[in-house]
Structure 1
Amino acid sequence: MSTVGQHAALSPRQLTRTGERVSFIYLERCIVHRDANAVTAEDANGTIHIPVATIGALLLGPGTRVTHQAMALLGEAGASVVWVGEQGVRYYASGRALSRSSQLAEAQALRWANPRSRLAVARAMYRLRFPDEDPSGLTRQGLLGREGRRVKDCYRTHAARTGLPWNGRKYYPGDFSSGDAVNQAITAAAQCMYGVAHAVVTALGCSPALGFVHSGHELSFVLDIADLYKTDIGIPVAFDVAAEDEQDIGPRTRRALRDRIHETSLLDRCVSDIKRLLLPEASSVAPADQDHVALQGDRGQHLPSGRNYSSLNEFTGEAVLW
């Protein structure tokens, strides 16, 4: 097997476009290594080869080990690597964003930095969750109050649907077993949704910390995105699981939510919602594999990079010999 240093780095034009790749490959309980321009997954049943150029994101589940050479090849090929829990319902760490473009990250920072646009995004998030209401004109306090009432109504609705007694949401950090079965299921579902949202936010190159509803935490934006699907997916699954049996609530909730995420194509929906929230006026988002670098001018214009702007009055520079 040849060494990493003998392979030249691939340029974006040599790579398979993101839209033509497999969206993600999930591996667990195996050793991930490299053989030429493919990664290999080896377990007790043998070894399979995965052409690295076909991978959009590689999800490494429990029991996986990955070599340095495999990671180097994945990085060269522009693949995102995410360490996750079973079937991707937890997020632990990642190695690079899937996107080469900073468009979404810059849009997030720009809309977050202005109090008016930050509130506008918060209203748009509310509208995504409850499309039958118009939050225009609501203050932040108004949004929080109305959201709280809608979530309480959601709890009562699903309690009546499943026939479970409901005495309110009770959660004690660090003490999962202190709540009743349905509260345990809601907590487990929320943790899974945070993992899914964190994986998508990271893969898109956005900042997990710059939230529009939540604030002051390294995962504020992750919490914002996860809450978009609380009443639609998380809470109904939690009540269904608790209504079936009170045993093994945590594992059963994670498995049920895993299946629901797959059935509803939640990852695709999450990507689309983030793009709509951060770039509502844009007709399109830059391709994830775009490798475009520009310089910023005084009036917000983008100037070609790789040129020497030695004159302050003329932008007719010469090529840089670096």
Structure 2
Amino acid sequence: MIGATPPTSRELTRSSDRLSFIYIEHSVIHREDSAITATDTNGTVHIPAASLGSLMLGPGTRITHHAMMLLADCGATAVWVGERGVRYYAHGSSLAKTSRLLQAQAGKVSNMRKRLEVAREMYNMRFPEDDVSGLTMQQLRGKEGARVRKIYRAQSERTGVAWNSRKYDPNNFDGSDPVNKALSAANACLYGVVHAVVVSLGCSPGLGFVHTGHSRAFIYDIADLYKADITIPAAFDVVAESSEDIGPRTRRAVRERIKDGKILQRCAQDIQRLLVPQEIDDAEWYADIVSLWGDHGDVIESGQNYGGETA
């Protein structure tokens, strides 16, 4: 194998000190020793693989087998995305060795009380001034619907774009009015960004708390946290400027709002806050340890023969 010996788990950079996400497009991705290299017409950039969280591969990228091996050895992941991350296509292994976030997600979505608690927390993250501690799921939906309608009306007044209601046909994009087309295009971009973060953390896109029954249910849950800040104002701004080329212009508008990468970090932090409120220790996050499950939910050391146990 070409290059230096990959670092051990103890030599890897702490997750809190890593570059969380790096986006690359129109480049050839390779490796040189323990660094990922990105080469385009302007030259070559070296990225320390052990300091990388997730490599987002945009249009026009090619990546070598050795580069993928190095990412895997360093506990980083590769996610194939559209331009500026606004589409999700596929991903490599998760950033995390531990399944703690996934287990927490499955445990909470399977428990009615805990599932409702997560749904309430999602509402609180969007509207912290409201007390929803005693509300049922039905009451939450009604309260959220009223607040979202208020946001639409406020954006309509701000931009002068007429607003009636949210109506769209997923099979007929051009059948909607301009602002609804812009909202659909903007939300599709946001779903791609959120999907990239969810799979990077090792969570399941299909285990949603508010949304359910779809392979991207959790994506829709998390994306709803940011629509009021990103997609709704972007859609109204685009239509206020012109009704021509709604789709491409809206995608560019969303990219401008997320290109600084802060939404990626915010999304990762929010997901961990919802599933595991306390911070996951780096030793657990990257520890390559497989355990066995005991009868009473306890964890038993693997790698041993338990053939001598009695019933």
- Normalization by structure 2: what TM-score? 0.90
Question: What corresponds to 2:28 in structure 1?
Answer: 31
Q: Select the residue among 158, 163, 168 that pairs with 1:166.
A: 163
Secondary structure, aligned partner of 1:116: helix
Question: What corresponds to 2:252 in structure 1?
Answer: 255
Q: What is the percentage of aligned positions where both structures have the same residue?
A: 55
Q: Select the residue among 266, 270, 273 that pairs with 1:273.
A: 270
Letter in 2 for 1:24: F
Secondary structure, aligned partner of 1:41: strand
Question: What corresponds to 1:15 in structure 2?
Answer: 12
Letter in 1 for 2:244: Q
Q: Select the residue among 280, 284, 295 that pairs with 1:285.
A: 280
Structure 1 Cα separation of the partners of residues 95 and 20 of structure 2: 10
1:216 is displaced (CA, Å) by 0.6
On the 8 A contact 1:17/1:289 being kept in 2, the answer is no
Q: Select the residue among 180, 194, 218 that pairs with 1:221.
A: 218
Query: Cα deviation per residue 1:24-79 (whole Å; 9 max; x = unaligned)?
Result: 22111122223333332222333333332232211111111112222122111211
Structure 2 Cα separation of the partners of residues 200 and 116 of structure 1: 26
Q: Select the residue among 204, 207, 212 that pairs with 2:204.
A: 207
Question: What corresponds to 2:85 in structure 1?
Answer: 88
Structure 2 Cα separation of the partners of residues 219 and 198 of structure 1: 8
Q: Tell me, yes or no, if structure 1 residue 133 matches structure 2 residue 130.
A: yes
Secondary structure, aligned partner of 2:19: coil
Q: Select the residue among 230, 234, 238 that pairs with 2:235.
A: 238
On the 8 A contact 2:5/2:34 being kept in 1, the answer is no
Report the more deviating stretch, 284-293 or 186-195. Answer: 284-293
Structure 2 Cα separation of the partners of residues 277 and 302 of structure 1: 24
Query: Cα deviation per residue 1:191-249 (whole Å; 9 max; x = unaligned)?
Result: 11111111111111111111101111111111110011122322122112221222232
Question: What corresponds to 1:156 in structure 2?
Answer: 153
Secondary structure, aligned partner of 2:44: strand
Structure 2 Cα separation of the partners of residues 85 and 171 of structure 1: 23
On the 8 A contact 1:30/1:65 being kept in 2, the answer is yes
Query: Cα deviation per residue 1:248-294 (whole Å; 9 max; x = unaligned)?
Result: 322222222223224582222212211121123x3x22323233433
Q: Select the residue among 282, 296, 300 that pairs with 1:299.
A: 296
Letter in 2 for 1:63: G
Report the more deviating stretch, 298-307 or 216-225. Answer: 298-307
Secondary structure, aligned partner of 1:122: helix
Question: What corresponds to 1:111 in structure 2?
Answer: 108
Query: Cα deviation per residue 1:92-116 (whole Å; 9 max; x = unaligned)?
Result: 1111111122111111111111122
- Structure 1 stretches of 4+ with a deviation exceeding 6 A read none
RMSD value, Cα: 2.2
On the 8 A contact 2:12/2:50 being kept in 1, the answer is yes
Letter in 2 for 1:286: D
Structure 1 Cα separation of the partners of residues 33 and 307 of structure 2: 45
1:312 is displaced (CA, Å) by 4.2
Q: Select the residue among 135, 144, 147 that pairs with 2:141.
A: 144
1:18 is displaced (CA, Å) by 2.3
Distance 1:59 1:264, change over 3 A: closer
1:308 is displaced (CA, Å) by 4.1
Distance 1:60 1:293, change over 3 A: same
On the 8 A contact 2:79/2:92 being kept in 1, the answer is yes
On the 8 A contact 1:103/1:286 being kept in 2, the answer is no
Structure 1 Cα separation of the partners of residues 47 and 260 of structure 2: 25
1:165 is displaced (CA, Å) by 1.0
Structure 1 Cα separation of the partners of residues 48 and 261 of structure 2: 28
